[in-house]
Amino acid sequence: MKKQIISKILFALIGIISISSCALDNDETTASFFSSQEFELISNSLSMENILPNYSSSEEENRDMLFDAKALLGRVLFYDDHLSIDNSISCASCHDQKLGFADDKAFSEGINGQVTERNSIAFSALGSDNSSDNPYFGGDDSFGASMFWDHRASSVTEQLKETIENDIEMGMPLAELPGKLNELDYMQMLFKKAYSDGDPYYTIQEDDILDALLKFMQSLNPSNSKFDKFNESRFTGQSSTVQLTVSEEQGLFLYENNCGSCHGFDAGHPAPRTANNGLDMIYTDSGDGNDKFKIPALRNVALSGPYMHDGRFETLEDVIEHYSSGINKTSNLSHDFSHLFINQVGNQRGFDFTEQEKTALLQFLNTLTDESFINDPRFESPF
């Protein structure tokens, strides 16, 4: 009798342990997409809670599973050290989800202990693959914002090619990457699943690597910050459950009047043009050639310091102080600033914010943090 009870308890315990140790959630949708063999291979190589998350942002029943499989593969590639020549660096080494996909250094470390020449850039508004409504996608669209601090890449795909091959960052010749990834059984399977279109002889292609990474990047769309929720109600006219504090709202007003013309009124999209914000009288890095640089989106900006193309400012307080009192009147200074430069007695000036205004602006910038984005398991490391 006793024995029976003990064995019942043991049985129940084993049940609980085996349920909780099953890291993957093989729900029905996923099961219909991956065979049990494929599922096992994924379970052995990767550790994810949900094996095939919905990246296509459509309703669960209308999911585009092929898109999801491509984006999932992009995520695996994004976090995989095999993308660098010596298997030491992944995209995530310099783009950390918890930091809005920037990092916390002025210059990031690439292969062989080398450091990048510029500050890593946080990701924003990569949400749509329709370039006409997504200014982030340059290249095919004249309204588009190009990639990098100097806008030298006209599209994400161009950016990807350069980054993977860049001698400092990953140093991996693209032509050799398919062969290298083909050696990894989980890569082979995931690529086949997403790109073979039923061809049993399919092998990994360069274009498919770029496409998968692009699809993952497109699914990254931080748009659920306190400010977003507040802003949405302003445009729909519906009363919002989220209110800004008096100080945050004053910060928003200051932002709209002093910063919005460049950084955009939703602060979520990089601008299609470059600009000079008076960091120095003489620029050692000339950016796009005219001392002008990308105007970054400010979504998650509280997490992505240090700031500017060379990471010169540690904190947002430093940045605000720059705009308030530190702007240099260089010859390429952007026009948006020009009118601010001469005060009533003819002297040079900046925005001259009061201490209270600086605090308000800082508090507003803090409302741009999207906690659900930086904690979204769909974007976490799959390893």
> For tokens 């990701």, what's the residue?
123
- Residue 159 sits in the site that holds ligand HEC (CB under 6 A): yes
When binding is defined by CB under 6 A, the residue of 225, 304, 367, 369 that contacts ligand HEC is 304
- Residue 295 sits in the site that holds ligand HEC (CB under 6 A): yes
- With beta carbons less than 8 A apart as the criterion, state whether 285 and 117 touch: yes
Q: Is 43 or 178 the residue whose CB approaches ligand HEC more closely?
A: 178
Q: Is 27 or 133 the residue whose CB approaches ligand HEC more closely?
A: 133
Q: Is 43 or 114 the residue whose CB approaches ligand HEC more closely?
A: 114
161 to 220, contacts with ligand HEC by CB under 6 A? 163-164, 169-170, 213
**CA dist 195 to 155, 208, 216, 340, Å?**
22, 7, 15, 54
How far apart CA 367 and CA 357 sit, in angstroms, is: 16
How far apart CA 308 and CA 277 sit, in angstroms, is: 10
How far apart CA 50 and CA 53 sit, in angstroms, is: 6
- With beta carbons less than 8 A apart as the criterion, state whether 138 and 145 touch: yes
Stretch that binds ligand HEC, among 44-52, 65-73, 158-166, 198-206 (CB under 6 A): 158-166
- Residue 157 sits in the site that holds ligand HEC (CB under 6 A): no
The tokens for 225 are 């910050």
When binding is defined by CB under 6 A, the residue of 53, 110, 171, 264 that contacts ligand HEC is 110
Q: Could you tell me which of 82, 77, 49, 53 has the C-alpha nearest to residue 65?
A: 53
Stretch that binds ligand HEC, among 20-28, 40-48, 142-150, 224-232 (CB under 6 A): 142-150
Q: Is 346 left (phi over 0), alpha (psi -120 to 50) or beta?
A: left
User: How far from the centroid of its chain's Cα atoms is residue 112's Cα?
Assistant: 25
Question: Could you tell me the smallest distance in angstroms from the CB atom of residue 358 to ligand HEC?
Answer: 10
How far apart CA 258 and CA 116 sit, in angstroms, is: 31
When binding is defined by CB under 6 A, the residue of 108, 223, 250, 300 that contacts ligand HEC is 108
- Residue 94 sits in the site that holds ligand HEC (CB under 6 A): yes
- Residue 251 sits in the site that holds ligand HEC (CB under 6 A): no
Length of the chain: 383
- Residue 120 sits in the site that holds ligand HEC (CB under 6 A): yes
215 to 244, contacts with ligand HEC by CB under 6 A? none
- Residue 293 sits in the site that holds ligand HEC (CB under 6 A): yes
How far apart CA 42 and CA 44 sit, in angstroms, is: 5
- Residue 368 sits in the site that holds ligand HEC (CB under 6 A): no
Q: Could you tell me which of 277, 293, 309 has the C-alpha nearest to residue 102?
A: 309
How far apart CA 66 and CA 197 sit, in angstroms, is: 10
Size of the site for ligand HEC (CB under 6 A): 51
For CA atoms 144, 149, 151, 157, the dihedral sign is negative
When binding is defined by CB under 6 A, the residue of 42, 48, 85, 121 that contacts ligand HEC is 121
Question: Could you tell me the smallest distance in angstroms from the CB atom of residue 238 to ligand HEC?
Answer: 28
- Residue 137 sits in the site that holds ligand HEC (CB under 6 A): no
- Which parts of this chain interact with ligand HEC (CB under 6 A)? 78, 83, 89, 91, 93-95, 108, 110, 116, 118, 120-122, 147-149, 156, 159-160, 163-164, 169-170, 213, 258-259, 261-263, 270, 275, 277, 279, 293-296, 298, 301, 304, 307-309, 319, 323, 334, 336-337, 351, 361
